[in-house]
Amino acid sequence: MTDVVEGPAVARELAAGSGSISYFRSGSGHPLLFLHAAGGAGVWGPFHERLSGSADVIAPDHPGWGGSDDLPELRGVDDLVYHYLDVLDRLELDRVDLVGASFGGWLAAELAVHSPERFRSLVLLGPVGLRIPGHLVADLFLMTPPQLVAALYHDPALVERILSVAPGTDQIVATYRELGSLARFGWRPFLNNPRLESRLHRISMPARVIAAGEDRIVPRVHCERYAAGIPDAELVVVDDCGHALYGERPDAVAEAVVTFLSERAGGRS
C-alpha cells in the first residue's frame, strides 16, 4: 500500500460512455498510459511520481474503480479495450508507452494485441490474462481481507503494518465495489481470455514482463508464457517482492520500467 505523495498530480475527469472516468496526468516526456491493478485505483503514489520524472504519465481509474463511474454498459474485457482506445483518442494520444499491472497488465496485453500501432512499448507487471490449466491465478474473491493482504505483499512487516489499521466503512464499501467490478470483468473465465495466448504474436513493439520474486497470486509461469509468446519480450524479476509489485517496492519496480523505456523505447519514438 503506497503512501500518497503530495504533488502536482490531481484527479481529472474525462467523459466516457454513460458517465465519466477519473485520471491523473503528470510529468513530461513521451506519453505513458498506466493501467492499475485490481487494487490501487485513485492513488498517485511514489511509483507514479517516479515514472513521471521521465514520462508524461496518464493514470486512469478503470470503470468501476476509484473515482471513475461504473459504466455498467461495459461488460467484458473486450469492452474495456475499446474504452481505452476511446480514451487515447479523446486525449489525442497517437502512440504511447503502455504499462499495466496485474488486471491492468491483462488489459495492456489485449490492447497491444488489438492495436499494436498505438503503442511504442509494452511493460507488463505480474499480468493475469492467460489461461494456464494447473496454474490458475489465486482465488482472491474468496480471501478474507487479511488473507488477501498477506498474499499480496512479501514483506511480513509491511503486511503487519497494513493490517494494524482497521479499515473504515467507506474503505470497506469502496473495496467491495472495486472487487465487484473485477468480478464483472473477470469471474468467468477467471481473470483470463482463453484466446489471448494464441494472439500474442501480434504484439510488435518491444516488451518487458516484470515478475514479482515472491508472487502468491499469479504463478510465475504466467509471466514466462507472456515473455515467450510476445516476439520481442524479456522477462525480469524483482526480488523480495510480492504480487503488489509497485505497491510493495515502488522504486525498484519503477527503475525496472524506466530503464527499459530508456533502453528500448526511447530511440524509436
Residues near other proteins (CB under 8 A) are 139, 141-144, 169, 172-174, 176-177, 179-184, 187-188
Q: Which phi and psi (to 5°) does residue 156 adopt?
A: -60, -35
Unique residue bearing C-alpha cell 494447473? 134
Give the DSSP per-residue string, 173-196.
HHHHHHHHHHHHHHTTTTTB-TTT
State in angstroms the smallest separation of the CB of 197 from other proteins: 21
Q: What is the DSSP letter of 168?
A: P
State in angstroms the smallest separation of the CB of 82 from other proteins: 18
Asked if 135 and 128 touch (Cβ cutoff 8 Å), the reply is no
Cβ distance to other proteins smaller for residue 179 or 257: 179
SS3 247: helix
Cβ distance to other proteins smaller for residue 14 or 174: 174
Cis peptide before 189 (omega within 30 of 0): yes
Cβ distance to other proteins smaller for residue 80 or 182: 182
State in angstroms the smallest separation of the CB of 141 from other proteins: 5
Cβ distance to other proteins smaller for residue 2 or 175: 175
State in angstroms the smallest separation of the CB of 176 from other proteins: 5
